[in-house]
């Protein structure tokens, strides 16, 4: 029974840890388009980066008057950007909340302290080789639908998945424990 409780505790901790390190994507200006960003695209993004802990700005392309360009999937930016800027339309705006595991981790980077959660307000300005639309067509969605769409799976659903995984492991452990007891009784 002690092994079972220890295993449950470890599984619960893993589930919470998995949720804590998730990238949060809030689409603040949803846009309709035929072509969204993909791995391998060279894109230009305007952004404003702040620390989640105190809201202090540490960098902004807007201040320089020029968007930041890079290739998605080439490993030139933090993982939070590699993931958070995929499937995005030109003109779309997103706020990315990037946990340390998908940012700079446990190392400081200039004005960014080690272990920081970062918040980026982003705006996709262009995709190389993709014509800019003549006009930006925004989508009308409810905030709850929008949140479920942006995050892929809601927090409650993620917890339910982790609980289901834990239940399977526990079922296996109990079956193994029952088998061992049956053999001890022989």
Task: Write out the catalytic residue numbers.
Answer: 47, 58-59, 78, 104, 120
DSSP string, 137-176: EE----HHHHHHHHHSS-HHHHHHHHHHHHHHHHHHHHHH
Q: Strand ranges (DSSP E) for 13-78?
A: 24-29, 31-32, 42-51, 57-60, 68-71
Number of residues that make up the chain: 186
CA separation for the pair 184, 141 (Å, rounded): 61
């Amino acid at each position: 029974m002690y092994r079972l409780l220890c295993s449950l505790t470890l599984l619960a901790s893993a589930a919470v840890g998995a949720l804590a390190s998730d990238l949060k994507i809030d689409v603040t200006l949803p846009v309709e388009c035929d072509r969204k960003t993909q791995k391998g695209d060279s894109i230009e993004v305007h952004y404003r980066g702040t620390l989640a802990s105190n809201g202090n700005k540490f960098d902004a392309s807007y201040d320089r008057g020029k968007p930041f360009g890079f290739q998605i999937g080439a490993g030139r930016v933090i993982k939070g950007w590699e993931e958070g800027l995929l499937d995005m339309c030109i003109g779309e705006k997103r706020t990315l909340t990037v946990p340390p595991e998908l940012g700079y981790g446990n190392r400081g980077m200039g004005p960014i302290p080690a272990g920081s959660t970062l918040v980026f307000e982003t705006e996709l300005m262009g995709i190389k080789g993709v014509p800019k639309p003549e006009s930006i067509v925004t989508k009308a969605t409810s905030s709850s639908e929008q949140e479920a769409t942006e995050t892929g799976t809601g927090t409650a659903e993620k917890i339910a998945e982790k609980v289901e995984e834990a239940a399977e492991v526990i079922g296996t452990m109990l079956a193994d424990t029952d088998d061992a007891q049956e053999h001890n009784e022989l």
